[in-house]
Amino acid sequence: MAVLQERRVLQPGECHVWWARSTDFSPFLIHLFDQDERKRFHAYRFSADRDRFAVACGVMRLGLASYSGQPPESIPISRSCPQCGKPHGKPEVTNLSPPGIQFSISHAGDRVIVAFAVNTPVGVDVEEVFSEWSGESVAEAALTVGEMRAFSRIKEAERAAGFLTYWTQKEAVVKAVGEGFTIPPNRFSVSGRSDSPQLLSWPRDPGLLRRISLYDLSPGPDTVASLAVLGGCCRIRYLDGSALIGDWCGRDRADSSIRGPSL
């Protein structure tokens, strides 16, 4: 398969944030997947989850291809879970030139987000805001006592987005650190909406507070998203993952009119 025609440069200190939607799914994306990705793709019971996974993998592979010039399907990705060894852990790229590219993926509802940076770990999380929110018990389980005090002062109508701001900041942090929620969310605190986004406590390593920066990426009132960057970044660029997939699948469709898409 071909390489991407358009090359992009990811500068140190920059973070590229690609947005896409699960409706960008095309069966042509499956040509890009490795064996583990194909297995996971076919194992989803619901097409909505399957499409979202495929679009996220597509943006990840096509993004990496645009930075490296390598064919997207030949980029080696490892997802080995440190707990059990299965391929469902933090995705990482091995042996890519230029070296040092790190990324993080999140999907919720029909939204997909993939953030890339160079020489610094990143974590990203997106969540959909539901107007009928009844997650008080989830908030009690996920927030620290101090966060819960600030959360209880939020007006009823803003509670869902208020909670999801805490949640996405926490998830972005645990993804940047690479451990996921093996660290329980109520064991460290973040600012939520009460201040500019920041990590406020991390008992395991208080020095992390100086090294990590949080950013609000929320694109509108129905979606909350946060980014964590170890070392911080000076510039965030937003890029169109839907167009990236559309261009690729359009070209692949033309190339593969003989073999057809493999589902």
Ligand X SMILES: CC(C)(COP(=O)(O)OP(=O)(O)OC[C@H]1O[C@@H](n2cnc3c(N)ncnc32)[C@H](O)[C@@H]1OP(=O)(O)O)[C@@H](O)C(=O)NCCC(=O)NCCS
Binding site for ligand X (CB under 6 A): 53, 56, 81, 83-84, 89-91, 104-107, 125, 171, 174-175, 178-182
Query: If contact means CB under 5 to 8 A according to the sort of partner, which of ligand X, Zn ion, none does residue 165 touch?
Result: none
Q: Which 84-143 residues touch Zn ion, going by CB under 5 A?
A: 84, 86
105 binds, among ligand X, Zn ion, none (CB under 5 to 8 A by kind): ligand X
In the complex, the smallest distance separating the C-beta of residue 82 from Zn ion, rounded to whole angstroms, is: 8
Q: Which of 83, 97, 152, 262 binds Zn ion (CB under 5 A)?
A: 83
Taking CB within 5 to 8 Å according to partner kind, which of ligand X, Zn ion, none is near residue 90?
Answer: ligand X
Scored b (16 or more CB within 10 A) or e, 153-167 reads ebeeeebbbbbbbbb
Residue whose entry in the numeric block shows the structure tokens 């979606």: 223
User: What's the gap between Cα 212 and its chain centre?
Assistant: 17
Write down the least CB distance from residue 86 to Zn ion, Å: 5
Stretch that binds Zn ion, among 1-9, 80-88, 106-114, 209-217 (CB under 5 A): 80-88
**123 vs 174: CA distance, rounded Å:** 7
Closest CA to 202 of 192, 190, 193, 213: 190
Shortest Å, Cβ 141 to ligand X = 14
Question: Going by DSSP bridges, is the β-strand pair 14-21/235-240 parallel, antiparallel, or unpaired?
Answer: parallel
Q: Nearest approach, Cβ of 88 to Zn ion (angstroms)?
A: 6
Going 247 to 259 to 79 to 166, the CA torsion angle's sign is positive
